[in-house]
Structure 1
Amino acid sequence: MAMVLQAIAFGVCADLSAQQVIASVEFEGLTKTKDSFLRKYLTVTAGQKYDSVQLSADRQRLLNLGILATVGTRIQTKDIGVKIVFACSEMISTLPVLALGKTDDNFWVKTGVQSLNFSGRGDKFFAVYQYYDRHSFYIQYATDRIGKSHWGTTASLTKWATIEPLNSEIGVLNYDYTNHTAYASAVWFLTFRETIDLGAGIFNERFEAQQPQENEFGKIVQGNKVLSKLIFKSNHLNYETFYLRGTYNQLNVEIIHSLDKAENFVTVFNDFRFFRQMGRRFNWASRIRSGIATNEDNPFAPFVLDSYLNIRGVGNRVDRGTGSIVFNTELRYTLFDKRILAAQGVGFLDFGSWRKPGGSFKDFTESRNMRAFSGIGFRLIYKRAFDTMFRIDYGYDYNKNAGLVIGIGQYF
């Protein structure tokens, strides 16, 4: 009798052990995305012991790719173990680009096409035309991991043309700024969440006064230049449709070498973002951007004070500096959340301080170099595509300056 009980116990244990081994991992619901690409982001594989925590982490990692609208998991028990099925629905990966932006004294429009999953392997393609005082275009292609390696690539061509207003003693002078750039980089995927991007490019930039007789600065920062860039990204964000939680940090180091003059210009800036979901409807979002650059007394310094970039309501390219510290925070409240559409109301605070070109670090503490705007906003969200929403914000400060900012996608 004892031998029979031992045999039964052994059989039960053996059966449980077999069930804990992963027999296979499969995908359902894919139409364009290659399952071989998604498997690069899985840690669960056939032959391993089943771990529910590991499976949950893999599910979240697939959602974070930005190409899948939903990912569910299903466990099926087989004689030889468990079968794991990822039930996926894909986002619309290729969309037309149509973005509008407006402040009180400025309007811009952007149109084109973008694909966040161009060939089904997570590669991205953008072709965009923009009118922002003048005509610009931008073409970029970026791969994810190539094959089984930990490397990817990017390549881009850009013509960037704008009108740059410049405050001077004789009033506001407008300059035509034109930049032609060819750029390529190699991306090293250190982990699922950390990457290093090493890139180089060549470009030509020119500033030309619209009224040459009023050109106070002569021929500045003109000609052919070489750009070297290092970008380190640490992305610990987790996505659930339009809700975000976690942190993101990006460090950029750029060196520009002039081919016409023996000059180098260095820019270092860091972008840190924090997101927290509070309850079912609230999403708190914050961003700190800080940067420093070669402190030349150059009227076209790299850090720009602008409603579209950092301080909502302040205006169009109001000021420039060779250093900046910007803090943005907003509380997003979900007004409704349907199957395809959702909406959020937003309350925000934007604060920034700048170092004047040729100035000192003391500039950061002087009130004349600070801006603080608060306001409210609205988001209408299309859930079938990544970060696709209509955005409108109204910002104002204690001096009764105010501005309306309209755009596509979250502000940050």
Structure 2
Amino acid sequence: MKYFLYMVTLFVGTTTAAQTISEVIVQENTKTRTSFVRKITNVKEGQTLDTLVLEADIIRLKRLPGTSHAYYQIHKKEDGTYKIVYGLQENFTIIPSANVYTTNDDEFAYRIGLYEFNGFGRNIIFGGFYQKDIFSSYGINFRAPYLFSKKTGVALNFQDLTTEEPVFLDSGTATYKYNNTSYEMLGLYEFNFKNRIEAGINYFTEKYVYRDGATSPEVPQNLKVKKLLYKVVYEYNNVERNFQYVDGFKSTFNFQYVTTRSEALPEFVIGFNDFVYYKRVGEKGNWATRLRLGVATNNESPFAPFAVDNNLNIRGVGNTIDRGTAAIVLNTEYRHTIYEKDWFVLQGNAFIDGGSWRNPGGDFGDFGDDQNLRIYPGVGVRFIHKRIFNTIFRIDYGYGITTDSTNGFVIGIGQYF
């Protein structure tokens, strides 16, 4: 019996030693630091070889903005241990951003920016934007998800946003000049490569200045309010990317509590969840669907938090054409690779964007109201550079088929969702 136990122990020990990782190499990385790759991956020298851990590391590396593709190799050494090689195909990561949108009433707006997505070789994101939407706006963003460790980081954002906003009154529609100046700080924590959370505060000032249109004695024509927003975002991400193709499921829950001392803009709670599903179709097709479910405190206020907007949810609908205190939005599209050679991809898509909103102070029956329901089918094209991060130049044209519909182009960088 002792001899049997001795042989079992010897066999297990020998097998374990033979599958030990004695060396981990990172190759082909020129900008991304090797120390950073070692920091965020789980495979280390001295561990037992486990291909499931290797696969998880590759998925994590593929998600980095600085990486267009990643792979691993396993080499058995003469002493019976293993050498692991991680290979990175890097993106060019100093990227301009651009979004342009128009409608058939000659509305034109744009946002341009410049961002570095792999700052200091550690996938730190830093940059800013300028927006022209009748008025000028700008913002600066800093995001370092792995600043403190492989799980913890921070995000800092500043924004000075000025737009012309419709305010919907019982007597008609008013037009206000709206300004939002905000300072935001978020702590970032990654439980594992599928689950992450961010939480923090946003201190901001809102200003409304009446320009023209309907008026109401209950709605002030000039308003300035300081607010504090508490924010929590939880994301589950099980999406795999292979250049322009995406497969998997992602869910993002966003909860915000906004405090204020103004009766005209009372405090409120807002929560919404984006469910996104991607499915490969054959060799060249990709189906993508996003469902947003959102609800907020049902204040009977003309300044409701959910907006119907060209650049957010319904392509072709126009710039903030309606508001509500709850929302259901569905975007679905089929993407097909028309042409691909080396670094360049031409992709076409056909989509349907649809949604409905609850009126401020209304009930959930408002979702079925023809005045709130909007459906916009359309088509688009994508010009994709496979070696530059998020370099997807998109042009979409949406055409409304519901009551009082418009139509128009939405142009931008990156997939719509």
Provide TM-score, normalisation by structure 2: 0.89
Distance in structure 1 (CA, Å) of the matches to 2:280 and 2:96? 30
Q: For the residues of structure 2 that align with 1:212 and 1:287, how far apart are their CA atoms?
A: 35
Distance 2:254 2:62 in 1: 26
Residue of structure 1 in register with 2:107 after alignment: 106
Deviation of the 1:39 alpha carbon: 2.1
Once the 2 structures are TM-superposed, how far is the Cα of residue 211 of structure 1 from its aligned partner? 3.7
CA distance, structure 1, for counterparts of residue 177 and residue 40 of structure 2: 46
Deviation at 1:23, TM superposition (A): 1.3
1:107-122 correspondence to structure 2 within 5 Å: 107-122=108-123
Choose 393-402 or 343-352, whichever is displaced more.
Answer: 393-402
Contact 1:41 1:192 in 2 (8 A): no
Q: Which residue of 2 aligns with 1:7?
A: none
1:324 maps to which residue? 327
The match for 2:407 is: 402
- CA distance in 2 between counterparts of 1:150 and 1:14 reads 33
Given that 1:275 and 1:285 are in contact with CA atoms closer than 8 Å, whether structure 2 keeps it comes out as yes
Q: Does 1:254 align with 2:256?
A: yes
The superposition leaves residues 237-271 of structure 1 with CA deviations (integer Å, 9 ceiling, x where unpaired) of 11111211111111111111114569421111111
Find the aligned partners of 2:406 and 2:172 in 1 and give their Cα distance: 20
C-alpha displacement of 1:20: 2.6
Which residue of the partner structure matches residue 4 of structure 1? none
Q: Contact 2:210/2:221 (CA < 8 Å) preserved in 1?
A: no
1:91 CA drift (Å): 0.5
For structure 2, the residue ranges without an aligned partner over 5 or more in a row are 1-10
Which residue number in structure 2 is paired with residue 133 of structure 1?
134
Structure 1, 268-277 or 392-401: larger mean CA deviation: 392-401
- Which shifted more, 24-33 or 92-101? 92-101
Closer, same or farther: CA 266–68 of 1 in aligned 2, 3 Å: same
SS in 2 for 1:36: helix
1:218-229 mapped onto 2 (5 Å cutoff): 218-219=220-221, 222-229=224-231
Cα distance in 2, alignment partners of residues 186 and 247 from structure 1:
24
Structure-2 separation of matches of 1:213 and 1:74: 67
- The alignment's C-alpha RMSD in Å is 2.5
Q: Quick check: 260-269 or 312-321, which moved more?
A: 260-269
Alignment correspondent of 1:207: 208
Counterpart of 1:203, as a letter, is F
Q: What is the 5 A alignment of 1:293-332? A: 293-332=296-335
Q: In the aligned structure 1, how far is the partner of 2:256 from the partner of 2:84? A: 45
Residue 28 of structure 1, CA deviation: 0.8
Q: Letter of the aligned partner of 1:230 in structure 2?
A: V
1:316, distance to aligned residue in structure 2 (A)? 2.2
> Measured at CA, do residues 26 and 221 of structure 1 come closer, stay the same or move farther in structure 2, by a change above 3 Å?
farther
Partner of 1:362: 365
Q: Contact between 1:392 and 1:406, CA under 8 Å: does it hold in 2?
A: yes
1:86 partnered with 2:113: no
Which runs of no fewer than 5 residues in structure 1 stay unpaired?
1-11
Query: What percent of counterpart residues are identical?
Result: 35
Partner of 2:396: 393
Task: Summarize the alignment of residues 13-412 of structure 1 with structure 2, pairs less than 5 Å apart.
Answer: 19-80=18-79, 81-104=81-104, 105-148=106-149, 150-168=151-169, 172-211=173-212, 214=215, 217-219=219-221, 222-259=224-261, 263-399=266-402, 401-412=406-417
CA contact (8 A) 1:335 1:344 kept: yes
The 8 Å contact of residues 19 and 77 in structure 1, kept in 2 or not, is answered as no
The range that moved more, 93-102 or 255-264, is 255-264
1:47-92 deviation line (CA, Å, top 9, x unaligned): 2222334323322221112321222322322223121111212101
